Structure 1
Amino acid sequence: MKKEGIMLATLGVLLVFSQCKPNQTKEEIVENKPAWELLGYQSLPDYGKHLVTIGGCHDCHTPKKMGPNGPELDMELALSGHPSAMPFPDVDRAAMEKNGYAVTQTLTAWVGPWGVSYASNLTSDPTGIGGWTEEQFFRALREGKFKGSPNGRQILPPMPWQMFQAMRDDEIGAIFAYLQTTKPIDNVVPDALPPSSVGQ
């Protein structure tokens, strides 16, 4: 009988506690935390760095150098785009534009049916995106506008801005926040060139 009394008392206490509501539900706690924190990142720029890495931004915007196993990222020039001092290689542009496309040895410039395009400087330097607003950055990724200008030309291949349209606002904001913390690298990327057939 004594055991039954203890069990009933324990069940009673559990019943009382089960009726008590915490100050916040799990859903409310999740709603009040930013995505980067819920995902275990230390800050918004830290989350942005992760997205830049897995999103392939270095593939085009970081010049390559030859390493023991072939081309590798030159992290001293991380995200600085096509080197301004590097001229486009002497190739038959008309043939490349007609039959396929070519890239430079740094993998930061391309020739194809659209002409010649160069990877932009994404660093925090004024020659990169250091002077950009977040609105410009959103417009570049959502609308494909060069330098995020409402009246700018479309961003040229191989930049897959159409894919990045699917990113959430917090993801684009995190990438922008990270890029604003990058090492500033003074590098004025050359202007894109129209197809060689233009003006002929």
Structure 2
Amino acid sequence: MKKIVVLASLVSIGFLIQSCFDGNNNQTKSHSISKEQSIERGKYLVKITGCGDCHSPKKMGPMGPFEDSAQLLSGFRANDILPEIDTNSLKRGWALFYAEGTAMVSPAGTAYAANITSDTTGIGAWSFNQFKIAMTLGKWKGLENNRHLLPPMPWQNFAQMKEEDLRAIYDYLMSTKPVKNLVPSAVPSVLQQL
């Protein structure tokens, strides 16, 4: 009988301790951040994920290409023309990048880096939901019935992000200087046309 009382006491103490820990785990602190903090976080995420590598036109300097601060995140320059493409390289599996990094021709087609500034020629008229669809489902213009984004856009990586990080990136991009630049539409694979 004494063993049963001791065992019951230990079990009760165990449940009590467990409930204390469960109570702490179930309490979610509502950790809301300000819009300014979200924008700063988004700026940081845009920088470390390399968005500007493809989405910012470049200038050449003594150390090589650098982002054109006047055209930051505005995508492939609308008035640029890609040089002639060696389709034999594509047939052998090569992907060719434009010198600025804002366009790529590959067996998948020709992809032009989008304008992701707050201008309406960029993503300025997009809702957060459109942005989320583009970044997590890889849909052009964030519309579910549109085509998939072409490589090299790494949307599969962004699909793994927490929603608050996607929101921060969106908040930052919506706070950027609007740059009017209507990027050309993607072109289907040139190999299919040969």
Do both proteins adopt the same fold according to a TM-score greater than 0.5, normalized to the shorter chain? yes
The whole-number CA distance in structure 1 between the counterparts of 2:101 and 2:191 is 24
Unaligned runs of 5+ in 1: 1-24
Find the counterpart in structure 1 of residue 157 from structure 2: 163
Larger CA Rg, structure 1 vs 2: 1
Of 69, 74, 89, which residue of structure 2 is paired with 1:96?
89
Dislocated runs of 4+, deviation >2 Å: 197-200
Distance 1:79 1:95 in 2: 32
TM value normalised by structure 1 = 0.79
Task: Indicate which of 47, 52, 59 corresponds to 1:53.
Answer: 47
Structure 1 counterpart of 2:141, from 147, 154, 174: 147
> 1:151: Cα distance to partner?
0.4
State the number of aligned residues.
169
- AA at the equivalent of 1:81: G
TM-score by length of 2: 0.82
Change (3 A) 1:42 1:147: closer
Provide closer, same or farther for how the CA distance between residues 96 and 116 of structure 1 changes in structure 2, counting only shifts above 3 A. Answer: farther
C-alpha offsets along residues 30-53 of structure 1, whole Å, 9 cap, x if unaligned?
Answer: 71223x57xxx9521111111111
CA displacement at 1:96 relative to structure 2? 3.1
Cα-to-partner distance string for 1:122-147 (whole Å, 9 max, x where unaligned): 00000000000000000001100011
Decide whether aligned partners of structure 1 residues 31 and 157 sit closer, same or farther in structure 2, where only a CA change above 3 A counts. same
Within 5 Å, which residues of 2 pair with 1:1-200? Answer: 31-34=29-32, 43-92=37-86, 94-99=87-92, 100-200=94-194
**Offset, 1:197:** 2.8
Compute the displacement of 1:198 (Å): 2.4
